[in-house]
Amino acid sequence: MDGAGTRPWAVGDLTQYIRERLEADPLLDEIWVRGQASNVFRARSGHVYFTLRDDDGQLKSALFKGQARRSAYTPVDGDDVIVHGRVSVFPRDGTLQLYVDLVEGAGAGLDQLRLELLRRQLEADGLFDPSRKRPLPAFPARIGVVTSPDGSVWHDIQHVVARRYPLAELVLAPSAVQGDAAPDGLVAALESLQVGHGIDVIIIGRGGGSAEDLAAFNSEALARALFRSRVPTISAVGHETDWSICDLVADVRAPTPSAAAEIATPSAVTIAGDILDDLRRLQDAAQSAVSLADRSLDLGQRRLALRSPALVIARQRVSVDNSLALLERVGRTRMERERSRIDASLAVLGALSPRRTLERGFSIVTDRDSGQVIDGPALASPGMRLSVAAAGGTYEAEVPGGGSGGPGPGLVRRKRPVSVAPGQQMLPVSGLERLPAATADAQRRTARRG
């Protein structure tokens, strides 16, 4: 019990030791096993558990949910299957267990299963991620080609490029495309085009063939070389129905090598047509720009003409003329209105003026000595010298004496009736009444004689 060989092991330590020894064996770390599936059980967690058995033994197996979700095939009891995985110990139960990462029906070939396993591994490493795929250059100057120099692929690519885009230069990196040496040759040819040649895009491919003929393009080394490529790549392996790992890793997949050459190059005819279209668009744009400039210039000239000093002065002159005409009309109207008002006032004043009264045959009698207006017979005394103002002028008169002290000849009291010949009037003037014209004339003649 004292030596290392006699010291008792703890159960957990022993199972852990056995597990480490098993996982350190490279044979058991990557192993293919064929058998019959039994006791198949899918847990709620998504893991699939089953027993793999044949006539001589059995092995517990587990397909975890990540691999189970990616697998297109899930075994059922009694299926003959081929699985790939690693052998280890499940410490809790101390049981030997096969951890499966790929399971297929036994009808599938081993090469197909290996290819599927490689595809899953590379996918998990991100080699097929669409986000890392690069766009191809629109106008490549130099195109690298990885293929056999003796096959039809090289000839077809040259023909297509010469027809579509003769400006591009082709650079061949020759390599075997099938056989045991092909994978390493393809990798070397691809890497030789990475630097020093000014390559814009690389076409890698071969013509159609069997699965064995295309096997070189399914190698892991070539897939990782394509992933590392600094130059965008186009894979053109086999025919359109064929597929390879190379197709999945390259930036672009072409159905055939000729199609790859067309994808890599623009069409010179199309470019010429595009150039003509661009020229037409430029001409149309230039004409539109010139037309727009002409319209802008014309509009600017019209605006400038509208703002020119001569036009402004002319407009102001018209405005002043209109204002003067308006003032003249307003002034004339106001003058006419004032003239009418003045005429009306003058008419009123004329009607009220003594002159008009005199013109109607009345007269104003005043005391020639004192200037007092004699507006009635009571103020006239015999012998008083009078000044009589009439329409024709002023003349003098004298009140004759009378024995009774009454008014002298030619004057009567206001209310004393006066005989008036037919057609004569009697109008009041300052308290006196006008005598008939014949009587007044007789009195004037008497006054002259006296």
**Whether 102 and 142 share a structural domain:** no
The domain boundary residue, chosen from 124, 151, 172: 124
Which class for 320: exposed (0-12), middle (13-18), buried (19 or more C-beta within 10 A)? exposed
**Whether 118 and 145 share a structural domain:** no
**What backbone phi and psi angles, to 5 degrees, belong to 274?**
-65, -40
What are the C-alpha distances in Å from 192 to residues 16, 96, 197? 48, 48, 9
CATH number of the domain at 178, please.
3.40.50.10550
**Whether 77 and 143 share a structural domain:** no
- Which residues touch 407 (CB under 8 Å, ≥6 apart)? 377, 380, 399, 413
Q: Is 117 inside a domain boundary?
A: yes
CA dist 278 and 91 (Å) reads: 74
Q: Is 315 inside a domain boundary?
A: no
CA dist 246 and 222 (Å) reads: 7
Model pLDDT for residues 197-243, shown as the tens digit of each residue? 899 999 999 887 777 778 899 999 999 999 999 999 999 998 777 78
**Whether 393 and 440 share a structural domain:** yes
**Whether 165 and 198 share a structural domain:** yes
**Whether 108 and 48 share a structural domain:** yes
**Whether 177 and 214 share a structural domain:** yes
What pLDDT, on the 0 to 100 scale, is given for residue 432? 38
**Whether 59 and 172 share a structural domain:** no
**Whether 102 and 193 share a structural domain:** no
**Whether 379 and 414 share a structural domain:** yes
Q: Judge whether 170 and 115 are in contact, CB under 8 Å.
A: no
CATH number of the domain at 36, please.
2.40.50.140
Q: Judge whether 240 and 256 are in contact, CB under 8 Å.
A: yes
Q: Is 345 inside a domain boundary?
A: no
Q: What does the pLDDT profile of the chain (450 residues) look like in tens digits? A: 344 557 888 888 888 888 888 888 888 888 888 888 888 888 888 899 998 888 888 899 999 888 888 877 788 887 788 888 889 988 888 888 999 888 877 765 566 777 877 888 898 889 999 999 999 999 999 999 999 998 889 999 999 999 999 999 999 999 999 888 999 999 999 999 998 889 999 999 988 777 777 889 999 999 999 999 999 999 999 877 778 899 999 999 999 999 999 999 998 888 888 889 999 999 999 999 999 988 888 888 787 777 777 777 877 888 888 888 888 888 888 888 888 888 888 877 777 777 777 777 788 888 888 888 888 888 888 888 888 888 778 888 888 875 444 444 444 333 333 333 344 333 333 333 344 444 445 444 544 444
The domain boundary residue, chosen from 65, 92, 124: 124
Q: Is 5 inside a domain boundary?
A: no
Report how many domains make up the chain: 3
Domain of 241 in residue numbering reads as: 137-269
**Whether 84 and 149 share a structural domain:** no
What pLDDT, on the 0 to 100 scale, is given for residue 4? 55
User: Buried b vs exposed e over 132-160: b needs ≥16 C-beta within 10 Å?
Assistant: eeeeeeeebebbbbbbbeeeebbebbeeb
pTM: 0.48
The domain boundary residue, chosen from 208, 236, 269: 269
DSSP helix/strand/coil, 36? strand
Q: Is 298 inside a domain boundary?
A: no
Q: Judge whether 236 and 198 are in contact, CB under 8 Å.
A: no
What pLDDT, on the 0 to 100 scale, is given for residue 110? 65
DSSP helix/strand/coil, 110? helix
Neighbours of 280 (CB within 10 A): 10
Angle between helices 220-228 and 110-124 (to 10 degrees): 30
Q: What is the 3-state secondary structure (H, E, C) of 40-90?
A: EEECCCCCEEEEEEECCEEEEEEECHHHHHHCCCCCCCCCEEEEEEEEEEE
Q: Is 174 inside a domain boundary?
A: yes
Q: Is 211 inside a domain boundary?
A: yes
Q: Is 321 inside a domain boundary?
A: no
**Whether 87 and 147 share a structural domain:** no
Q: Are strands 233-237 and 201-206 parallel, antiparallel or unpaired?
A: parallel
What pLDDT, on the 0 to 100 scale, is given for residue 137? 94
Q: Judge whether 249 and 128 are in contact, CB under 8 Å.
A: yes
DSSP state of 373: B
